[in-house]
Chains A and B, each alone.
Chain A
Amino acid sequence: MKNRVVITGIGVVAPNGIGVVPFWQALIKGTNCVDTITFFDPAQHPAQVAAEIKNFDYKNYLSHEVARKMDRSSHFAIAAALEAVDDGAFKIKNENRDKIGVVLGSAAGGLGFYEKQMQVFWQGKGQGIDEQTLLATSSGTVSEEVSNLFGFSGPSIIISNGCTSANDAIGMSANFIRSGELDVVFTGGSDACITPGIVGAFCRLGALSTKRNHEPKKASRPFNIDRDGFVISEGSWVLILEKMEHALERGASIYAEVAGYGATCDAYHITKPLPSGEETARAIKMALKEGNVEPEKLSYINAHGTSTELNDKTETLAIKKALGKHAYSVSVSSMKSMIGHAIGAAGAGGVAVCALAIKNDFIPPTINYESPDPECDLDYVWNTGRKKIVEAALGNSIGFGSKNAAVVLTKYKG
């Protein structure tokens, strides 16, 4: 018999709030966090909007001495992990450290740190680059610093699968607990990609919204027919995944149960999704099947919903393929309409929203609804969130590099 896995804590560092309560309140209200880029001068960038975390001060979590050796993505992950410990009232004891692991997703890791150092480097000051560059750039440092902070000595892993990184990290974490390898995993994702180089690279790919630099609040508009690309964002979400007995024993409050996970690859194109959506649908079906959740029982899907032309219509098609007629009854929303796309961390945000929707029986909206797309014809919970009993929810993510990952959560009923 495999162990059951529950979510007992959520830590958030997001453009709309730091801590799970502000995050959820902002989502319920539909707060729009997209604005003109302030972190650097985006004059030469065709896309000039982003959802930045402006009120994050790493000093609330770390000393400057420690923090300066890390990329912003590590700062985020540490802060989110501390928030999760707080939210989950999780006590770290010497005797349980060996059975606690850290598995986080990050698409870029410390690439932002590297970019800054390379600026120095290419300006001919090769000896002047920071001696921390190698470690701060390595994605592995993100999980290492979280393990190190708490003294967790289980596996400390970074999954770097592009936009599905965090969903895949959560899926692997659940499997670690199911198989008995670990009792607790701190999982989720972190990315800090609002840098001239990374935003520039996404601009060159043609993936970002460029038409609404003058009205940034309208730029992220998933499932609208006049969508023109995604809005880049940043942040970290860390979930405490726990073996059910372990959680019950310590009297933890349970958000939801992690019921199933599915991962597939389109093997089609490095940036474009398979037009038929069949591999995205297969990941959804795998996750439902593992969780013993009949498609009709699914109440909510937190969609990848990036606001790119191809993603939104392909994802819609995939949901129809996976759920059949029930696709028109399930509520589907994209928080990217409010807080943009946090790349490798986004999936963790999506699973966090699923857990909160289950706990609160409430579905957050997709904002910015203005122009319907006939190919996107599901219930996207337009503009206003609503009360709904949420028995089962699915966090979906679709990534460049052809990857698909879905996580299914269910209401915990003992």
Chain B
Amino acid sequence: MGQRRAVITGIGVISPNGLNKEAFWQGIKEGRNCVDRVTSFDASGFPSQIAAEAKLFNPQDYLPIKSIKKMDRSNHLAIVAAKGAITDGEFQINDAEIGRIGVVIGTSFGGVGYAEKEIYKLYTEGLRMMSSYTTTGTFCGGLTGEVSTAFNFRGPSFTVANGCNSSSDSFGLALGMIRDNLADVMLAGGAEACITPGVVGALCRMGVLSAKASRPFARGSDGFVLGEGSWVFILEELEHALQRKAHIYAELLSWASVCKPYGDKGADRVSEVGEAIVSALQKGGLDPEEIDYISAHGSGLPALDEAEIKAIKKVFGQHAYGLAVSSIKSMLGFPLGAGGAAGLAAATLALENNYLPPTINHEVDDNGDVLDYVPNNGRGKKIRNVLSISLDFRSKSSVLALGRYPGNEK
């Protein structure tokens, strides 16, 4: 018996550009810019006052007020995105198999927004005013507890909280769980809702937020723009998907995750990202020339963008100029731990539609050695296989490889 294979059969989205897969795809296809002034709190005192908020999302359209209050916004986003994936995948929940359905969601900060509010109450009004749901509302584990419970899924229920590559690694774990026969179906993805005074304040102090715009790969970019949202997929064992005649978007071929020392003793980030790409290609049985599109991390942090570009050039050689590389963060900002799932959604839909979403706000680099960033306008292209790259600030790099099903059967 060969290794069990995992395919993507449903995509649910709550994003700054829309509340389902169709709106998300339409938005990134058209290059719609969702970055604007922060509205969820008064940001006038902060050096950076812009973000990509999921303004269209109103939890009350989906959840009873009573349960809304018990949870962080990241939980609301994830539950509704998971519901979207189930609908999109026409997935019927059969009681006989709920024990074989699991959930793995990545996040950087889980319910930190909930914590922030309740800590405020503790230190200003006293403990008695603190919500009795502060632990479950705050801890990252509450996120997947709520999603599993919402759908009565009784398989493994995991939150991966690695930092900005969390949701890419959540797909890695989900893939492992399917291959290792711990589950037949996994809801996998990412959720983040940290456009809060505390997190924006901390990011400003760290000096990584842009005060201007989201401009991945552009010369003179002054940082990234914070985003939010949830992207949840149905990842399904191949036979299971075939049996129920599910629509198969793509096969998840491989996951690679590398962590190299940072700082003084640091290995250079270029070789680290390169290693992760090479490892994903090898594990996925892909030649570099078989990749037509890379959904890049491209957050707009100059040093990281540069490392990513150099790594792509290093690994792909001449083919680096033949494939396309774009960053949807130019339109949707950077939803930290959910960024990997957002990027994978773009990669999956690009493959499905043979269409490249653009990098907007693109300004031509004048040194001549430029990749095809799909500048400003999306376009059609025949796509065989794609990579999705996700990077944490200092030392974690994750890469996922997707192949067309059944196109990748050689």
Given A134-B199, A144-B392, A161-B157: A155 and B257 interface contact (C-beta under 8 Å): yes
Bits for A68-97, please: 1 = Cβ < 8 Å to B, else 0. Answer: 000000000000000000000000000000
Give A167 Cβ to nearest chain B Cβ, in Å: 11
The reply to whether B154 and A140 contact each other, CB–CB distance below 8 Å, is: no
Q: Choose among A131, A165, A172, A403 the residue that contacts B205 (Cβ–Cβ < 8 A).
A: A131
Cα(A400)–Cα(B99), bound, Å: 18
The interface size bin for chain B is 35 or more
The reply to whether B145 and A162 contact each other, CB–CB distance below 8 Å, is: yes
Cβ–Cβ < 8 Å partners of B182 in chain A = 175, 263
Cα(A118)–Cα(B152), bound, Å: 36
A45 at the interface (CB under 8 A from B): yes
The reply to whether B132 and A204 contact each other, CB–CB distance below 8 Å, is: yes
Cα(A203)–Cα(B162), bound, Å: 28
A270 at the interface (CB under 8 A from B): yes
Residues of chain B in range 8-36 having any CB-CB distance to chain A below 8 Å: none
B203 at the interface (CB under 8 A from A): yes
Give A200 Cβ to nearest chain B Cβ, in Å: 5
Cβ–Cβ < 8 Å partners of B203 in chain A = 134
The reply to whether B145 and A402 contact each other, CB–CB distance below 8 Å, is: yes
Mark the stretch among B169-177, B316-324, B350-358, B363-371 that contacts chain A.
B169-177
Cβ–Cβ < 8 Å partners of A161 in chain B = 140-141, 144, 157-159
Cα(A154)–Cα(B156), bound, Å: 23
The reply to whether A135 and B159 contact each other, CB–CB distance below 8 Å, is: no
Q: Choose among A138, A197, A266 the residue that contacts B119 (Cβ–Cβ < 8 A).
A: A197
Give A320 Cβ to nearest chain B Cβ, in Å: 20
The reply to whether B259 and A402 contact each other, CB–CB distance below 8 Å, is: no
In the complex, residue of chain A having the shortest beta-carbon distance to the beta carbon of B134: A201
Cα(A282)–Cα(B149), bound, Å: 17
The reply to whether B141 and A400 contact each other, CB–CB distance below 8 Å, is: yes
Cα(A402)–Cα(B150), bound, Å: 11
Given A129-B205, A197-B118, A200-B127: A400 and B162 interface contact (C-beta under 8 Å): no
Q: Choose among A144, A168, A263 the residue that contacts B396 (Cβ–Cβ < 8 A).
A: A144
Cβ–Cβ < 8 Å partners of A127 in chain B = 205
The reply to whether A144 and B205 contact each other, CB–CB distance below 8 Å, is: no
Bits for A243-272, please: 1 = Cβ < 8 Å to B, else 0. Answer: 000000000000000000001111111110
Bits for B196-211, please: 1 = Cβ < 8 Å to A, else 0. Answer: 0111011101110000
The reply to whether A160 and B163 contact each other, CB–CB distance below 8 Å, is: no
B232 at the interface (CB under 8 A from A): no
Give A100 Cβ to nearest chain B Cβ, in Å: 10
A159 at the interface (CB under 8 A from B): yes
The reply to whether B148 and A267 contact each other, CB–CB distance below 8 Å, is: yes
Q: Choose among A130, A157, A201, A205 the residue that contacts B162 (Cβ–Cβ < 8 A).
A: A157
Give B109 Cβ to nearest chain A Cβ, in Å: 7
Bits for B268-293, please: 1 = Cβ < 8 Å to A, else 0. Answer: 00001001000000000000000000
Cα(A117)–Cα(B116), bound, Å: 10
Cα(A279)–Cα(B153), bound, Å: 11
B120 at the interface (CB under 8 A from A): yes
Q: Choose among A133, A138, A147, A205 the residue that contacts B135 (Cβ–Cβ < 8 A).
A: A205
A392 at the interface (CB under 8 A from B): no
Cβ–Cβ < 8 Å partners of A163 in chain B = 141
Give A193 Cβ to nearest chain B Cβ, in Å: 9
Give A95 Cβ to nearest chain B Cβ, in Å: 15
B122 at the interface (CB under 8 A from A): yes
What are the 9 tightest A-B residue pairs by CB atom distance, in nearest-first order? Answer: A401-B145, A140-B163, A162-B141, A160-B140, A156-B259, A201-B134, A139-B161, A155-B257, A265-B157
Other than the given A111-B138, A144-B395, A401-B157, 20 more pairs (CB < 8 A) read: A118-B198, A133-B201, A138-B109, A143-B162, A153-B272, A153-B275, A154-B258, A155-B259, A156-B259, A157-B257, A161-B144, A162-B136, A200-B122, A201-B118, A204-B134, A263-B155, A268-B149, A270-B142, A271-B136, A401-B136
Q: Which residues of B contact A (CB under 8 A)?
A: 45-46, 70, 98-99, 102-103, 108-110, 112, 115-116, 118-120, 122-124, 126-127, 130-136, 138-142, 144-146, 148-149, 151-164, 166, 169, 172-173, 176, 179-180, 182, 197-199, 201-203, 205-207, 257-263, 265, 267, 272, 275, 392-396
Q: Which residues of A contact B (CB under 8 A)?
A: 44-45, 102, 106-109, 111, 114-115, 117-119, 121-122, 126-127, 129-135, 137-141, 143-144, 147-148, 151-165, 168, 172, 175-176, 178-179, 181, 196-198, 200-207, 263-271, 279, 282, 344, 399-403
